[in-house]
Structure 1
Amino acid sequence: MKKYRLLVLTDHRGHSTENSIYPLLLEMRKHKRCAGIDVASRGLENNRLFFENRAVKNLFAAPVSQTFAWDEAGSAFKKNLERVSPRTYDAVLLRLPHPVVEEFWGFLETEFPSVYFINNPAGMLKTGNKLFMLNFQELCPPMKACHSIEDIDEMRKQFPVVLKPVMSYGGKGIVRIKGDEVVFSEGEKMSFGQFAEAYHQHPEPYLAVKFLRNVTEGDKRIVVCCGEVLGAVLRYPPADSWICNVAQGGSSAESAPDENELAIVARIDPVMRENGVIFYGIDTLCDDEGRRELSEINALSIGGLHAMRTPAGVPATKRAAELLWERIYEEHKAEK
């Protein structure tokens, strides 16, 4: 049986015991098609030139062993480091959280055109922009790209809105506007007039979305790999908050996608795959009638996988490993 080598690009600095990359890579390591997995972290000083300056020869990776696990020191990413090149691997798995500058995606595409990336760098750039959601407005709450305070004012006069900074991440910089009251996700409050003054001084693009009052019902993360739904997890906001983000103090519980959410996946998956994105997560929220609507798409560093099981009861990380190796096999078989 043909076996393959995998390189993983990630950043261990934001990891915790809850990060899915550890059980996922351990499952991939055990698979019969695995000839070896190396992992390179953006968080290592050794790799700064590769990730920041796009210096091709300055990438160092550590082998994934059977003891691959998280610790505060990031030991798993520092042991037995060797200089590597993505060109020498059969596939490269991208698990890079924000921030990632646009130039880095272009660097990967230009410098390593023959490398099979999961996911495609150009596809990551395109689908990682919040404005990509505008391609699926029929699946989402009312939304609009706002490039001026007038755009924002028009939206907030229709209903309470949430403003999502186009290039932000992790629930940072989100703004809720209800009438004249403006509340930032970090807790700061001001009037809309004060917000308008601040905006004029530092304008930035937002995706404005109708605020859904059922936010306490939880934000459901659903993970998809190679067209297959792997599972779901519900993430609840902390007490007295409206942000369903575990990184900001929320909680989570295992869940399952409903029929409407499966229909959402069926609608967006062909578009994602056209862009070379086969491993991603979507988030849904309950609308005012209790129906779940699409709220986010995430293909960068997909969270929640470790807590999920497939409908057949298989750990989602195990099933993801099977699907990813099969996809790598199919990719190389097609090249012959």
Structure 2
Amino acid sequence: MTLRIAVQMDPLETINIAGDSSFALMLAAQARGYTLFHYDVRTLAYDASYGAAGRLTCWGAPVTVQRVEGAHFTRGEYRLIDLVADVDVVLMRQDPPFDLGYITATHLLERLAGQTLVANDPASVRNAPEKVFVLDFARFMPPTLIARRIEDVRAFQERQVAAGLGGDLVVKPLHGNGGKAVFRVPADGSNLGALVEMFQNAWIEPFMVQPFLPDVAEGDKRIVLVDGVVAGAINRKPGAGEFRSNLAVGGSAEATELTSTELAICAAMGPELKARGLVFVGIDVIGGKWLTEINVTSPTGIVAIDRFNGTDTCAMIWDAIAVRHAAL
């Protein structure tokens, strides 16, 4: 079956085609004979004068893609695209920040329910931000604090020292991505006050605090699940002088196997991911046992996973999407 796919993502001009998961998905869709459109989320428009269902449109263009550096896409003429009449599937892939603009887009896309499939499901994306949804699986997480007051952070740090977990902390934005603004706080707390002040000034929401896990030196695993089923994994190791292992900040990828604990984590969350319509999810695990994030907005890693494992994760994702679309 031929599908018409509208890809909601950041500008095609800015992507790194060697490792970009959205680009890989577009190539795989095109190989299946699917029609591709690209649009910027800021062009979404909802007109309530079109009856009870309204009309959701975007300003987009047909695109073709190829794995040629510097000439990786060809774009047709921009036009108004009706996300019901002209499209079968919306692939929601723009990167965070997970701000009010992002949240508003999920509200608008949710109005396509029963008409056009949106993957990942927009209501579930809105209700499952990476560092909040993970709290549903706290039994697999390291000790975690979400707060804004420095007094709460200091008390948390004291409890970690008393528990023998060391006093170093990691502080990160609640709705950040790609390893940005992730800081290590030494046990003496010498930079804690300045960091908390910066977070309080930069973000209105609380931030996340966890003990620094020395196992991160050996990397953290990005495990991808497709419709709740494990598709593959890579181990991401920090670059020289870094403790962050994200590929976007200089980490490197290597092949890996899943531990029994990691398999148990995936088995525990798989049915919930499927039930929520979260087709493409990437989770992060440190030391073979510590779950730190569940990435649902714009997960990455499938290019490296397929390169190391000889798998075809894009095919798994499009197969899952096709099944869900057929069930509309």
Aligned to 2:62: 62
Summarize the Cα distance change of 1:278–1:194 in structure 2 as closer, same or farther, 3 Å threshold: closer
Q: Which SS does the other structure have where 1:23 is aligned? A: helix
Aligned to 1:96: 94
Aligned to 2:291: 294
Aligned to 1:49: 43
CA distance in 2 between counterparts of 1:326 and 1:305 reads 20
Kindly indicate whether residue 9 of structure 2 is the aligned counterpart of residue 10 of structure 1: yes
CA distance in 2 between counterparts of 1:227 and 1:311 reads 21
CA distance in 2 between counterparts of 1:244 and 1:305 reads 16
Q: Which SS does the other structure have where 1:242 is aligned? A: coil
Q: Which SS does the other structure have where 1:84 is aligned? A: strand
- The CA deviation string for residues 1-59 of structure 1, in whole angstroms up to 9 with x for no partner, is x543222211135420211223322223333xx5x3223142xxxx74338xxx94442
Aligned to 2:52: none
Q: Which SS does the other structure have where 2:127 is aligned? A: helix
> Given residue 61 of structure 2, which amino acid in structure 1 is its aligned partner?
A
CA distance in 1 between counterparts of 2:199 and 2:244 reads 22
The farther-off stretch of 153-162 and 244-253 is: 153-162
1:250 Cα offset (Å): 1.4
Q: Which SS does the other structure have where 1:220 is aligned? A: strand
1:268 Cα offset (Å): 1.2
CA distance in 2 between counterparts of 1:265 and 1:259 reads 10
| 1:166 and 1:206 in contact (8 A); partners too | yes
CA distance in 1 between counterparts of 2:68 and 2:84 reads 27
1:301 Cα offset (Å): 1.7
Counting only pairs closer than 5 Å after superposition, residues 122-133 of structure 1 correspond to structure 2 as 122-133=123-134
CA distance in 2 between counterparts of 1:26 and 1:114 reads 25
> Given residue 162 of structure 1, which amino acid in structure 2 is its aligned partner?
V
| 1:22 and 1:70 in contact (8 A); partners too | no
CA distance in 2 between counterparts of 1:227 and 1:191 reads 40
CA distance in 2 between counterparts of 1:201 and 1:262 reads 39
| 2:279 and 2:320 in contact (8 A); partners too | no
> Given residue 90 of structure 1, which amino acid in structure 2 is its aligned partner?
D
Summarize the Cα distance change of 1:229–1:311 in structure 2 as closer, same or farther, 3 Å threshold: farther
- The CA deviation string for residues 96-140 of structure 1, in whole angstroms up to 9 with x for no partner, is 211243212112223666322111111111222412221111011
Summarize the Cα distance change of 1:141–1:87 in structure 2 as closer, same or farther, 3 Å threshold: same
Aligned to 1:185: none
Q: Which SS does the other structure have where 2:283 is aligned? A: strand
Q: Which SS does the other structure have where 1:87 is aligned? A: coil
Summarize the Cα distance change of 1:311–1:228 in structure 2 as closer, same or farther, 3 Å threshold: farther
1:60 Cα offset (Å): 0.9
- The CA deviation string for residues 225-269 of structure 1, in whole angstroms up to 9 with x for no partner, is 122211111111111110111111111123332322121111112
Aligned to 1:38: 36
CA distance in 2 between counterparts of 1:24 and 1:322 reads 12
CA distance in 2 between counterparts of 1:312 and 1:191 reads 41
CA distance in 1 between counterparts of 2:20 and 2:217 reads 24
> Given residue 59 of structure 1, which amino acid in structure 2 is its aligned partner?
W
> Given residue 216 of structure 1, which amino acid in structure 2 is its aligned partner?
A
> Given residue 126 of structure 2, which amino acid in structure 1 is its aligned partner?
L
CA distance in 2 between counterparts of 1:141 and 1:297 reads 14
CA distance in 1 between counterparts of 2:127 and 2:135 reads 12
| 1:155 and 1:161 in contact (8 A); partners too | no
> Given residue 16 of structure 1, which amino acid in structure 2 is its aligned partner?
N
CA distance in 1 between counterparts of 2:259 and 2:236 reads 16
CA distance in 2 between counterparts of 1:85 and 1:268 reads 35
| 1:22 and 1:68 in contact (8 A); partners too | no
Identity across the alignment (%): 27
Give aligned pairs, total: 308
1:310 Cα offset (Å): 10
Aligned to 1:163: 171
Kindly indicate whether residue 182 of structure 2 is the aligned counterpart of residue 174 of structure 1: yes
1:325 to 322, 325, 328: 322
1:326 Cα offset (Å): 2.9
Summarize the Cα distance change of 1:196–1:57 in structure 2 as closer, same or farther, 3 Å threshold: closer
The farther-off stretch of 157-166 and 130-139 is: 157-166
Summarize the Cα distance change of 1:57–1:122 in structure 2 as closer, same or farther, 3 Å threshold: closer
1:300 Cα offset (Å): 1.8
Unaligned runs of 5+ in 1: 182-189
The farther-off stretch of 224-233 and 301-310 is: 301-310
Summarize the Cα distance change of 1:25–1:111 in structure 2 as closer, same or farther, 3 Å threshold: closer
CA distance in 2 between counterparts of 1:25 and 1:198 reads 38
> Given residue 49 of structure 1, which amino acid in structure 2 is its aligned partner?
T
